[in-house]
Amino acid sequence: MSVVEIFKAAKASSSALARANSNLKNSALENFALELEGNIPKILEANALDIQNAIENGVAAGLQDRLKLDQPRISSLAKAVRLIIALPDPIGQSVDGMTLPNGLKLQQVRVPFGVVGVIYEARPNVTVDISALALKSGNAVLLRGGSAAQNTNRVLVELIQAGLAKAGLPASAVQTIDPYGREGSVEMMQARGYVDVLIPRGSAQLIRTVVTESKVPVIETGDGVVHMFVDETADLEKTVPMVLNAKVQRPSVCNALETLLVHQDIASVALPKIAKALEASGVTIHGCEETLKLVTGVPATETDWETEYYSLDLSVKVVADLDEALSHISKYSTHHTESIITENQSNAERFLQEVDSAVVMVNASTRFTDGGEFGFGAEVGISTQKLHARGPMGLRELTSTKWLVRGNGQVRD
């Protein structure tokens, strides 16, 4: 099939999905979960090929971690699919409604987009999460997962298609254009009329390319230069575990901590304790001049403040007060997630109000910015734009609305 023929098949299958009831869609998703659990060796074999290629091509360790699947991760993916099954179907939900004085009954309801295109890098979990969310929300999906994960993604798409077919839904509702390479990505970005919305997930460069070159409407997801500010009132017994979790639990993901800001009044006590825990986990501190007077590390450069490391590296800066912390975040944030550690309610509320990011936290690890943690089952991505969707994107963010008008012969005066 040509790329255009794939687009046409996706468009045709989107109509079948839009008509499918919740039971039918849930049946397809349960089939998919069973396919995942029943084909773990096949998935791991394909993933091993991708990992080997990544090693040979010098892919960074953080990106290799994103690429890697093992039995627990595959089991978690199947669990995520079943969590999506358990969620309410958004399609047909009433958003608004009214009866006009002339008797016309108006109802605004949720409907699928139609065909969702996704361009992403080295993230086979995205193949599963987005496909499951798209199917539950009645959308066909076109996937461009990149060459790094092409063997894994091929097998996953085959399993999804098998689940669809067993439920009596068109297998073309989920397709990959990986075999068509970058040319396929370009065609999808130009496929207005076939693709209703495009979602990029990956590096800042990938996202910029899709946003600037696409003729299809784009929901912009962002890279994660994530900040945490430890103010002068922070409880260090809480602070150290939160910083450690935010940075170390999984450093290769977009909600991992990249820059730690510490109030000068608490720095001499807080930083050595924080640094000791970080260093025990292999973290390299890129510190400002004041930081390096207190802990061991390497000098931070201007580039460090705007870097998403994907690794066990952390930028650390001592700041004079909340104003300087807010100024630093405003300058370098990618508007993904920021957190304040504080026992001062006034500081907490000011941080919540003034920080312009998709998710703003008080006394919590930034690792909670996640569709699964937010109760969405999985996520399409973290939207850092301000139109339609912002923050973790679940089922509702894959829908639009339409107005249903029921009359009885009314004509306009």
Print pLDDT tens along the chain (413 aa): 899 999 999 999 999 999 999 999 999 999 999 999 999 999 999 999 999 999 999 988 878 888 999 999 999 999 999 999 999 999 999 999 999 999 999 999 999 999 999 999 888 999 999 999 999 999 999 999 989 999 999 999 999 999 999 999 999 999 999 999 999 999 999 999 999 999 998 877 888 899 999 999 999 887 789 999 999 999 999 999 999 999 999 998 899 999 999 999 999 999 999 999 999 999 999 999 999 999 999 999 999 999 999 899 999 999 999 999 999 999 999 999 999 999 999 999 999 999 999 999 999 999 999 988 998 888 888 998 888 889 999 999 999 999 999 999 999 99
Q: Report the alpha-carbon distance of residue 174 to residue 160 in Å, rounded.
A: 7
Looking at residue 109, its pLDDT comes to: 97
Phi, psi of 364 (to 5 degrees): -155, 150
Looking at residue 379, its pLDDT comes to: 85
Contacts of 124 (CB under 8 A, 6+ apart): 47, 50, 67, 69, 145, 149, 152, 153, 156
Angle, nearest 10°, between helix axes 71-86 and 40-56?
A: 120
User: Cβ of 327: how many Cβ atoms within 10 Å?
Assistant: 12
How is the beta sheet containing 140-144 ordered, strand by strand?
174-176, 140-144, 115-120, 197-201
Strand partners, 316: 260, 287
Helix (H, G, I), strand (E, B) or coil at 37: helix
pTM value?
Answer: 0.84
Count Cβ atoms within 10 A of the Cβ of residue 102 and give its class: 0-12 exposed, 13-18 middle, 19 or more buried.
exposed
Looking at residue 290, its pLDDT comes to: 97
Contact 231, 270 (CB under 8 A): no
Domain range summary for the chain, segments of one domain joined by +? 3-219+393-406, 226-368
Contact 185, 347 (CB under 8 A): no
Looking at residue 341, its pLDDT comes to: 98
Strand partners, 404: 107
280 to each of 62, 85, 276, 284, how far by Cα in Å?
19, 41, 6, 10
User: Could you report the per-residue pLDDT of 20-36, keeping only the tens digit for each?
Assistant: 999 999 999 999 999 99
Q: What is the CATH number of domain 3-219+393-406?
A: 3.40.605.10
Tokens representing 123 are: 């993230």
Q: Report the alpha-carbon distance of residue 170 to residue 64 in Å, rounded.
A: 33
Contacts of 293 (CB under 8 A, 6+ apart): none
Contact 178, 151 (CB under 8 A): no
Looking at residue 381, its pLDDT comes to: 86
Tokens representing 283 are: 């973290």
User: Could you report the per-residue pLDDT of 293-321, keeping only the tens digit for each?
Assistant: 999 999 999 999 999 998 999 999 999 99
Looking at residue 384, its pLDDT comes to: 87
Question: Which CATH superfamily hosts domain 226-368?
Answer: Aldehyde Dehydrogenase; Chain A, domain 2 (3.40.309.10)
Phi, psi of 37 (to 5 degrees): -70, -30
Looking at residue 388, its pLDDT comes to: 81
Contact 332, 230 (CB under 8 A): no
Looking at residue 13, its pLDDT comes to: 97
